[in-house]
Amino acid sequence: MAKDGLKVDRLHAIDAIRGLCLLGIFINHITLGFLHRFSPINIMFSDAADVFIFLAGISSFLAYGGKPGEHYANSNTVKIWRRARLLFLVNSLIAVASIAILFAGDAVAPAAVPTSMPGHLIETHGAVTYLWHVLTMQQTVGYSVVLRLYVVLMLLAPVYIWLASKRFWYPLVPAGVIWLLAGHFGWVESNSLSGTPLALTILPWNLIFAMGISFGAARAQGVTFHKSNLLTIVATALLVAGPVCAIILTRVSPDVVAWVDTRNDFFWTGASKTFQSPLRISFMLALAYLFVNFRSAPLIRLFHQATADSVLSRLGRKSLEVFSAGAIMALAADHFLWFLFSSEIVRPNSVPAILIELGITTAAIFAMVRIADTKALSFAAIGPGIRDFYLRVVSPTGPPRPGSS
């Protein structure tokens, strides 16, 4: 019973962290608001997306890796790819909803950068071409980029899970080689039609996912991560370095300000989200090390003591549904604020603007909790309907012919 209890506690902790990440992602996506200024992303070398993908790796092994001593079951590959298919369909749903929001927003308050809007891209490339590129994940729209990455990672997951079932660290070898080559040579993707670079690119980010799989395999296989004074000092220093850099050093050193402003541009010497710089990877490892070895630390203890009924655990258990709703609501909220600001109804950062954002955020969180608690709104219930709609309406069109519109 003790072992079962420990496993349940660990899963609740994962759910709770995932739930917190979902709230952080939602707030960060309201880019015109005020609240995102208080997000930890502003003082850390990593953010909620990194943690989210790392946890996805852990959950993937725990769900499909089998029990210790068992070989990886080939039947799990089919289950994983079915999950990838669901993620793809949900990504399509978010994309279609995002296009509708962007068209509506542009109608009442034209965008500051119209070349990035669907209307401009459709006018330039044609409606069929635009829709094809969006639904095949070549061109992103709205805030679906995380799911785009997740779909591809789930296609790779069977190989990494099979390797981890042999030795927990095996996936880190191919993933690490891919990460190093992609980061060093700049092998990252851009949107196919707009040409804007993607923040979450597949080759560099595959290492974060593989790290999560290896971590989940290590825990499942009984590998103990012992405390080390040296590792504790290094991990704590990395954790503290972010706030010190953002809050203190940027006020006294122009060189630090310049580094912060350009940190996403460099793999080896930056803290790039696009390239997943070594500093960013190290920060993620430091967080994992401290979380595992200091269970009684004040903040960490709250996650380890999380129950199935806690709000964060409930959100985390239905992460796909909650993320999807959050991505759509955040995009709508951002464009609603843009309408208010561009029409000079309220001023940015004014008290009325902050109160409006607080009201939107509170209502959105309430809606996400309701979605998490309502079985009828789960993708397990509505997924077949989404799949049938996609096969009937989208799939038969196929790739656009040259000159189509």
- Domain membership of residue 405 (yes or no) is no
Q: Is the pLDDT of residue 400 over 80?
A: no
pLDDT of residue 37: 87
pLDDT of residue 383: 60
| Percentage of residues in the chain having pLDDT higher than 70 | 89
- Domain membership of residue 52 (yes or no) is yes
Six-digit token pair at 340?
A: 């208010």
pLDDT of residue 4: 37
- Domain membership of residue 303 (yes or no) is yes
- Domain membership of residue 404 (yes or no) is no
Q: Is the pLDDT of residue 313 over 70?
A: yes
- Domain membership of residue 402 (yes or no) is no
pLDDT digits (tens, 9 = 90+) for 95-152: 999 999 999 998 888 887 787 789 999 999 999 999 999 999 999 999 888 899 999 9
- Domain membership of residue 246 (yes or no) is yes
pLDDT of residue 387: 61
pLDDT of residue 72: 76
Mean model confidence pLDDT for the chain: 88
Q: Is the pLDDT of residue 73 over 90?
A: no
Structural domains in the chain (count): 1
Six-digit token pair at 84?
A: 């990838």
- Domain membership of residue 146 (yes or no) is yes
- Domain membership of residue 243 (yes or no) is yes
Burial of 247 (0-12, 13-18, 19+ CB in 10 A): exposed
Residue (of 371, 329, 359) closest to 35 by Cα position:
359
| 405/392 Cα distance (integer angstroms) | 20
Which range marks the domain in which residue 87 is found? 2-397
pLDDT digits (tens, 9 = 90+) for 21-34: 999 999 999 999 99
